[in-house]
Structure 1
Amino acid sequence: MTSRMAGKIAFVTGGGSGIGAATAKRLAQEGATVIVCGRREAPLAEVVESIRQSGGKAELKVADVSNERAFVSAIEEAAAEHGRLDVMVNNAMAYTWGSVDSMSTEDWHANFSTTVDGTFWGTRTAMRLMKDSGGGSIINIASICGLFGTAWMSGYSAAKAAVINFSRAVASEGAACGVRCNVVVPGVVATPATAGMLSDDQTRANTEKLIPMRRVARPEELANAVLFLASDEASYITGASLPVDGGRSSDLYTVLE
């Protein structure tokens, strides 16, 4: 363990698996006390135990990010227990598949309740707490789908685009009081959420052909980006959207081999 985040209190949503779990572990490795939040206790407990076994500090809060009262209470309780909140990582998301012409209003809204509303509630609560304690860092997790149109995922794409521009506004408002807000923009990452699209060798190979680096990301690679933006090394960075996508968003014409 090193100490880039020593003494910091960090709250990570969607922390039971994938990017959230990797982020919680990475922040703890660097000395942060990490509160891991999610809907299901069992996976959260596994992450917390893994962190503790490695010598880190972590605890869990069970809360549904799409439930405003439960989610806000979890953040406020964590801050009260530890005296402050230094880092907020809004990673939890939800999505539905389907064509625009067949999508129900209910399915459309389902893309926003966690991804947009939850990010707003988490950010608003964190800003209030961080202003009172002299500043902090908010990192919101978007997606490459928020940069480009994605067939069959219009709701998810719209929600992630909203997260990106919302975060710019937050950065503008928070800068004067020391609250930074940045976005990490993943491409395809090997997580439980993408297990279906990477379910066999051929499907995975076809996906990787579209990525200039010719591979999907590991959750730990996204966690490293979050760590940087959360740390004091990024003290003059706010309002940024950092793609961590193997070059996918930089490549207009992909050469298929």
Structure 2
Amino acid sequence: MTQRLANKVAIVTGGGTGIGAATATRMAEEGATVVVFGRREAPLKDVVASIVENGGKADYRVADVSDEAAFVSAIDEVVSDYGKLDIMVNNAAAFTWGALTEMTTEDWHANFKTTVDGTFWGTRRAMQLMQKNGGSIVNLSSICGVFGTAWMSGYSAAKAAVTNFSRAAASEGAAANIRCNVVIPGVIETDATAGMLSDDTARANTAKLIPLQRVGHATELANAVLFLASDEASYITGATLAVDGGRSSDLYTAMD
């Protein structure tokens, strides 16, 4: 590996599974000290153990990003323990599923508490801590926030909010050399998408909607986050990078 993140300290929320775990792993492979955040201790411990076993540096904090006080306190604890924060990846999200006509106000707000509020709290605290030395923030949106998705109206709205919030944050952070960018995942194979990819037929039908004709892997998404977090992207801020096999760039209809 090239050690692109040598001597960097990174936080990855939602780091116990899926995209978060893959991102933490890739960052550790490139030399970062990575601290994974999540609500459940067991998967966090597993990710840290795997990273350390492979020669990387990692730690974890049990923290619910929908709890402002607990989340901010955990970020501050990382800075107290490791002396700084160079990279903040706001990956944690939550969603409710169901018809708009049946959605309760509680269901609607549940999409925003983790996905939008958590991203706001994580970005705000990171920007406060990065004022002196700069840094990189990468926020995770979704293809649902680009198109809108039936039965996921709350989540679609929340992820669209993350994208425009991040653009504003990029403008505000630029003077202090704090970059803020967005990665937009398409269909990535994780535990969260297991239901829609439950068998070969479902997988094939999903692949037909994607120009590259396949579902993405978590490591492919992690590589995009890694790039934007690294100094290789030092002149990139306020950008949105779609990692979706071409889905968001084309009105694509599969032909037999």
Structure 2 distance, partners of 1:208, 1:76, is 42
What residue is the counterpart of 1:244 in the other structure? 243
Q: How many residues align?
A: 256
Structure 1 residues 32-181: aligned runs within 5 Å: 32-132=32-132, 134-181=133-180
Per-residue Cα deviation, 1:128-150 (whole angstroms, up to 9, x for no partner): 00113x10000000000000021
Structure 1 distance, partners of 2:160, 2:37, is 23
What residue is the counterpart of 1:20 in the other structure? 20
Partner AA of 2:4 in structure 1: R
| Percent of aligned pairs sharing the same letter | 73
Structure 2 distance, partners of 1:22, 1:212, is 24
What residue is the counterpart of 2:234 in the other structure? 235
Per-residue Cα deviation, 1:137-174 (whole angstroms, up to 9, x for no partner): 00000000000021111000000000000000000000
Structure 2's unaligned 5+ residue stretches are none
Structure 2 distance, partners of 1:225, 1:103, is 34
CA contact (8 A) 2:210 2:252 kept: no
User: What's the TM-score once normalised by structure 1's chain length?
Assistant: 0.98
CA contact (8 A) 2:85 2:135 kept: yes
Partner AA of 1:227 in structure 2: L
What residue is the counterpart of 1:222 in the other structure? 221
CA contact (8 A) 2:184 2:243 kept: yes
User: What's the TM-score once normalised by structure 2's chain length?
Assistant: 0.99
Partner AA of 1:38 in structure 2: G
Partner AA of 2:196 in structure 1: M
Partner AA of 1:69 in structure 2: A
Partner AA of 1:167 in structure 2: S
Partner AA of 1:80 in structure 2: S
CA contact (8 A) 1:136 1:179 kept: yes
Cα shift at 1:3: 1.1
2:131 partner SS:
helix
Partner AA of 2:200 in structure 1: D
Structure 1's unaligned 5+ residue stretches are none
Structure 2 distance, partners of 1:216, 1:113, is 28
CA contact (8 A) 1:210 1:256 kept: no
Structure 2 distance, partners of 1:197, 1:118, is 26
Cα shift at 1:255: 2.1
Structure 2 distance, partners of 1:208, 1:256, is 12
Cα shift at 1:2: 3.0
1:6 partner SS:
coil
Cα shift at 1:59: 0.3
CA contact (8 A) 2:211 2:252 kept: no
Partner AA of 1:128 in structure 2: Q
1:131 partner SS:
coil
Cα shift at 1:106: 0.5
Structure 2 distance, partners of 1:256, 1:84, is 52
Partner AA of 1:34 in structure 2: V
Per-residue Cα deviation, 1:48-70 (whole angstroms, up to 9, x for no partner): 00000010000000001111111
Runs of 4+ in 1 over 4 A off after TM superposition: none
